[in-house]
Amino acid sequence: MSELFHLLSRGGAKFDKKRFKNEVELFNPKQAKSTSDSKKKPQKSGELPPELDFFKYAQGGNDAGGKKAGKGKGKKRAIEEDELDEDGEEEDGNESQVDSQHETGRKRKREEEDSALPKAIAKVPLSHRVTTTGSNVPESISSFSDLSSRYSIAPQLLRNVEQNGYAIPTGIQAYGIPTLLESRDVTAVSPTGTGKTLSYLLPIFSLLGSPSSSRDKKSKTASSTSSAPSGSGIRALILSPTQELAAQIYNECLKLAQGRKWKVVLYSKATGATLAQKDVRDKVDIVVSTPLRLVAALQEGTIELNNVRHLILDEADRLLEEGFLEQTREIVSSCTHLDVQKAVFSATMPAGVEAIAKDILSDPVRVVVGLKDAASVQIRQTLTYVGTEAGKLTTLRQLLASAPPLPLLVFVQSRERAAELHQELIYDGISVDVLHSDMTRKQRDDSVRRLRAGETWVMVCTEVMARGMDFGGIRGVLNYDFPQSVQSYIHRIGRTGRAGRDGEAITYFTDADAPYLKSIANVLKQSGSSVPDWILALPKPSKMKRRALKKKPVERKSVGVIAGRGIGKGESVKKREMKEASKRRKLKNDVEAGQALSRPEADADSDSS
What is 128-214+230-369's CATH superfamily? Answer: P-loop containing nucleotide triphosphate hydrolases (3.40.50.300)
- Report the pLDDT value the prediction gives residue 86, as an integer from 0 to 100: 35
- Report the pLDDT value the prediction gives residue 213, as an integer from 0 to 100: 79
Q: Which tens digit of pLDDT belongs to each residue from 441-488?
A: 889 889 989 998 899 999 999 987 777 687 778 999 999 999 988 989
pLDDT at 69 over 50: no
Number of other residues whose CB lies within 10 A of the CB of residue 148: 14
Q: Which tens digit of pLDDT belongs to each residue from 171-199?
A: 999 999 999 999 999 999 998 888 999 99
48 φ, ψ (degrees, to nearest 5): -65, 125
Higher pLDDT: 46 or 443? It is 443
As a whole number of angstroms, the distance between CA 312 and CA 452 comes to 26
Give the DSSP letter string of 32-72.
Answer: S-HHHHHHS----TTSPPGGG-TT-GGGTT--S-HHHHHHH
End-to-end CA distance of the chain: 146
Helices (H), 375-439: 389-401, 415-426
Please compute the mean of the pLDDT values over residues 293-318 and round it to a whole number. 94
As a whole number of angstroms, the distance between CA 202 and CA 53 comes to 55
Q: Does this chain's domain 128-214+230-369 share its CATH topology with 379-563?
A: yes
Q: Which tens digit of pLDDT belongs to each residue from 514-573?
A: 888 999 999 999 888 889 898 888 888 888 888 888 788 888 888 866 666 544 545 656
- Report the pLDDT value the prediction gives residue 601, as an integer from 0 to 100: 57
Name the pLDDT band for 372 (thresholds 50, 70, 90). Answer: confident
pLDDT at 37 over 80: no
Identity of the amino acid at 563: A
Beta carbons of 208 and 261 less than 8 angstroms apart? no
- Report the pLDDT value the prediction gives residue 132, as an integer from 0 to 100: 94
Domain ranges of the chain: 84-123, 128-214+230-369, 379-563, 572-604
What is 379-563's CATH superfamily? Answer: P-loop containing nucleotide triphosphate hydrolases (3.40.50.300)
Name the pLDDT band for 230 (thresholds 50, 70, 90). Answer: low
Beta carbons of 231 and 281 less than 8 angstroms apart? no
Please compute the mean of the pLDDT values over residues 268-293 and round it to a whole number. 91
Beta carbons of 79 and 118 less than 8 angstroms apart? yes
Beta carbons of 155 and 148 less than 8 angstroms apart? yes
- Report the pLDDT value the prediction gives residue 117, as an integer from 0 to 100: 44
- Please state whether the predicted TM-score (pTM) of the whole model is above 0.85: no
With a pLDDT cut of 90, the percent of the chain lying above it is 43
Please report how many Cα atoms fall inside a 13 Å half-sphere around the Cα of residue 545, on the Cβ side: 13
Length of the chain, in residues = 609
| Residue 381 backbone zone (phi > 0: left; psi -120 to 50: alpha; other: beta) | beta
